Amino acid sequence: MMAAVNKREIGAGLVVLAIGIVFLLWSQIYPPRMSAMPKLVGWVTIVLALIDIAAHFDTTLGRVLRRIAGLEIAGLSSDSEAAVEPSWRRIVIAMLWVVGYVAAIYIFGLLATTPLYIFLYMAVHGRKSMRISALNAVIVTIAIWITFEYLFHYPLYPGLLFGGQ
Amino acid sequence: MLESTLAALQLLFTPGGALFLFVGVLVGLLFGVMPGLGGTTAIALLMPLTFNMESNHAMMLVGGIMGAVSAGGSIAAILLNTPGTAPNAATCFDGYPLAQQGKAGLAIGAAATASTLGGLIGVVFLIAVIPVMKAIVLLFGPPEFFMLALMGLSAIALSTGGQFLRGLISGALGLMLSFVGYNAVSGGVRFTLGSEYLWDGISLVPALTGLFAISEMIHLSVSGGTIVKEKTTGSVTSVFDGVAAVFRHWKTLLQGSAIGTLIGAVPGLGGTVAAFLAYTAAMQTSKHPETFGKGNIEGVIGPESANNAKDGGALIPTLAFGVPGSAEMAVFLGVLVLHGLDPGPMLLIEHEGVIFSLILALSASCIIATLITLLVARYLVMITLIDVHVLVPAVIAVSFVGVYALKETIGDVVLAGVFGLLGYLMIRFRFPRVTMVIALILGEIAERSFYQSLNMASGDWMIFFTRAPSLILCLLTIGCLVFPTIQAVRRRPRKPAPAE
């Protein structure tokens, strides 16, 4: 029976495989001159993904592929980033702060959202004092406004609610 | 030529000339440090202001900006893993790990010195090739562009820091992204998901800002603490250690400068391609390629020297034929036209003095920007000691504002956010981001040049092998692909791999 070396890494390979297949199918709808290169890249991605998946199984083929593909050098189990494994909860929260900020910029604009985002991030996520959070939010927002809008006349995005498009 | 050089030198020491040069350097440093801005924006912004200036003064101002932007961009790249300008992205790969190890002073010292010397080498090259400019630029046609792009793509294999397979996968994903938008070959639009914003393709600056700045901020947000995990050394000594490192690795400096100048001279490629190729070349020729991406000073010297050297090279087609080598040069062309200076072979004959003012300003600004950077480096490294929960929201906010300012499109902000999340996932699953960027930049060039070449030769593939420059580039490409495979096959594990 084949034993998987690292299920998480195989999951990553499967995602790439799915991307390759979807991209290849998507390429089919375009005329030949527009789709020749994308199809080639789609097939190459699928082959590379299959090799990546095969390399993560503890078989003779897997070991040979790992050596050629440089996966042993990458240090699948000893990489510095892999050594510090944060929980997925923390990762999702950190990502949601970015997603939330972008969504708020889109709706309320850069100038209205930025101080609020900085204040909330520092106070709630960073657990800083209200005073430090508010001070940083005001300083950064003023610096952005002076540099971009006042000095260089770059209008900051007003947001969908205030006339942005 | 000597008379023009002396006249330009005289102008440099007049109060007006010196003032405009200094203002140009400060603006260049500021725009370089601010993520998403850069030299193109700075020159475009100040172009209307130069209208009432003397042409020589305008050249001092523009030359000051061009020479200083790279130095400013390297500061943000090293300290925050946020490339101030797109060509500085390659500096992140080893500059930021050095900052994390508490060696930000060393990295800044090396970057500033490599940047200056690279810029000066580029200028010397520019002066040397002025008489033979036309012949050099005409050597490059679509087959050479295709082979050059192919060489850059195959260099992916070398720039993966040991993660060969995952590097190739990232490269393939980058190529997929490069196909998004309007296709110049067929005149159709591909993979846009019905979004008009994507008709122009994936914008490079938002993509780079997301992949490097935003993703790194998410990474810091998850890990907490400070950027520096070890004791920091931003002392004057460590900064000058960086200066000394450049002279110790003089071959990397010369190699990067040569790549920067040559790539800069090829219209349509630009500083980002030059910096990434210089990085991969530095890795290929290094005695310790395995330490690249982990804080190898050669990984800072190579791209930084190429980054500034490209300006000298990019001026060659701009001045000689009016063909801009990059977006920055396209805007600079506007400045020339605004001042009644028609680019072309006659420019050097009719306005030699103005051109030498520009060349001198470019050289002087490299030196001034470096001196300023070296003087303030020890204070700048303190940024790496700030609590990440204070730094993260500020950097993310400035990054998004900078990205929006470039084209005033909210789509760019959304794109930067998407690439930020993608970049973080790539960090977590160890897919090298550098290879995706190289493929994203070169994918469109490769496809377009490929079809142009076949059209030129009525479908005959031999066009890629019958032209000497193309054939040389083809052989170099094969070398790039074969080298890591041979290296990997020859590498024998010293002991049996333990059960994982």
State the pLDDT confidence band at A81, using cuts at 50, 70 and 90: very low
Where is pLDDT greater, at A29 or B241? A29
State the pLDDT confidence band at B324, using cuts at 50, 70 and 90: low
**Domain finish residue from A80, A109, A126:** A80
**Domain finish residue from A58, A80, A102:** A80
What residues of B are in contact with residue A138 (Cβ under 8 Å)? none
Residues A109 and A144 in one domain: yes
DSSP string, B295-356: --THHHHHHHHHHHHHHHHHHHHHHHHS--SSHHHHHHHHHHHHTT---SHHHHHHSHHHHH
Check if the beta carbon of residue B28 is closer than 8 Å to that of residue B369: yes
Which of A23, A26, A98 to mutate to probe the B interface, most B CBs <10 Å? A98
Window A:86-115, CB contacts with B under 8 Å? 86, 90-91, 94-95, 97-99, 101-102, 105-106, 110, 114
Residues A99 and A115 in one domain: yes
Residues A73 and A92 in one domain: no
Total count of domains within chain A: 2
Q: What is the pLDDT of residue A75?
A: 42
Residues A54 and A97 in one domain: no
Q: What is the pLDDT of residue B157?
A: 61
What pLDDT, in 10s, does the model give residues A82-111?
445 788 888 999 999 999 999 999 999 999
Enclosing domain of residue A149: 88-162
Query: B475 CA to chain A: closest CA distance, Å?
Result: 22
Kindly identify which residue of chain B lies nearest to residue A125, measuring between CA atoms: B389
Of B179, B392, B484, which has the smallest distance from its Cβ to A37's Cβ?
A: B179
In this structure, is residue A2 part of a structural domain? no
Residue B442 confidence (pLDDT) above 90: no
Kindly identify which residue of chain B lies nearest to residue A99, measuring between CA atoms: B417
Residues A68 and A98 in one domain: no
Residues A61 and A100 in one domain: no
Q: Does A44 touch chain B (CB under 8 A)?
A: yes
pLDDT exceeding 90 applies to what percent of chain B?
A: 8
Residue A123 confidence (pLDDT) above 90: yes
Q: What is the mean pLDDT of chain B?
A: 78
Q: What is the pLDDT of residue B269?
A: 62
Q: What is the pLDDT of residue A79?
A: 39
Query: B370 CA to chain A: closest CA distance, Å?
Result: 23
Of the listed ranges B57-66, B201-210, B288-297, B344-353, the one predicted with least confidence: B344-353
In this structure, is residue A31 part of a structural domain? yes
Query: B159 CA to chain A: closest CA distance, Å?
Result: 12
Query: A108 CA to chain B: closest CA distance, Å?
Result: 12
Check if the beta carbon of residue B163 is closer than 8 Å to that of residue A70: yes
- How far is it, in rounded angstroms, from Cα B87 to Cα B437? 11
Helix pair B298-321, B352-380: axis angle to 10 deg: 160
Q: Helix and strand tally (H, E) in chain B?
A: 23, 2
Residues A107 and A53 in one domain: no
Cα-Cα-Cα-Cα torsion B313, B207, B163, B297, nearest 10 degrees, comes to 50
pTM of the model: 0.73
In this structure, is residue A151 part of a structural domain? yes
In this structure, is residue A1 part of a structural domain? no
Of the listed ranges A83-97, B71-85, B207-221, B286-300, the one predicted with least confidence: B71-85
pLDDT exceeding 70 applies to what percent of chain B?
A: 79
**Domain finish residue from A64, A80, A96:** A80
Tokens of B42: 């700075």
Residue B413 confidence (pLDDT) above 90: yes
> How far is residue A160 from each of residues A115, A116, B193, B410, measured CA to CA in Å?
18, 17, 22, 10
State the pLDDT confidence band at B342, using cuts at 50, 70 and 90: confident
Q: What is the ipTM of this complex?
A: 0.90
Tokens of B444: 């469109």
Tokens of B226: 């400070």
Check if the beta carbon of residue B403 is closer than 8 Å to that of residue B207: no
Residues A18 and A36 in one domain: yes
Residues A76 and A105 in one domain: no
Q: What is the pLDDT of residue A76?
A: 41
What residues of B are in contact with residue A117 (Cβ under 8 Å)? 393, 397
Tokens of B317: 């087609």
